[in-house]
A = this chain, B = another copy of it.
C-alpha cells in the first residue's frame, strides 16, 4: 500500500499537534495548501489507511482525533529527505515546497542545507535550459506561448532567489 503525497501532507499537518480529519479538510479548504482536495472521499479513506499503517493513532477517548506516531514521523522524515530529481523540480516543485514547510523540527540543519542546495542547483539548471530553449527552437513559438514560457522563467527566478535567501536563513540558525 503506497503512501501518497496526500498522505504525507496529512502527516505533516499533524506535526504541530493532533487534529480531526475534519480539521485537516478545513486547512486544505481555507489555506491555499498546495492543491490538495478537501473532499471527504479523499481525506477519510486516507486517514483510515494511515491508521492501518500505524502512522497515526486515533485516541479512543475523543471521536476521531488523529495523532502522528513515532513510525509516522520516521516515514515522513524519510520522505522529506529523499534525493531531489530533475523531474521533481520541473513538474512537482510545489511538492518540494510542501516538504520544506514540514521540515522544521524533523530534519537536521545539515539535511535542510543539502535539500535547499540541491533544489537551488537544479532550479538554476532548469531555468538555464528554459532560457536556451526560448533562444533556440522556442523562438518559433506563437507569441502567447512564448510569453507563457517567459512567465515560467520569471517564476523560476523568484524561486531561485527565495532558495538562496532561505538557505542563508537556515545556515545562520543557532
Contact = CB atoms under 8 A, between A and B. Distances in A.
Contact of A32 (B130, B142, B159): B130
Given A142-B16, A158-B154, A158-B155, A148 B91 contact: no
Copies of the protein in its oligomer: 2
A26 interface: no
B35 A144 contact: no
Contact of A101 (B35, B126, B145, B169): B145
Given A97-B151, A154-B158, 19 more contacts: A31-B133, A32-B90, A32-B130, A35-B91, A35-B92, A97-B148, A98-B148, A100-B144, A100-B147, A101-B144, A102-B144, A104-B142, A104-B143, A104-B144, A147-B162, A147-B166, A154-B161, A155-B155, A157-B158
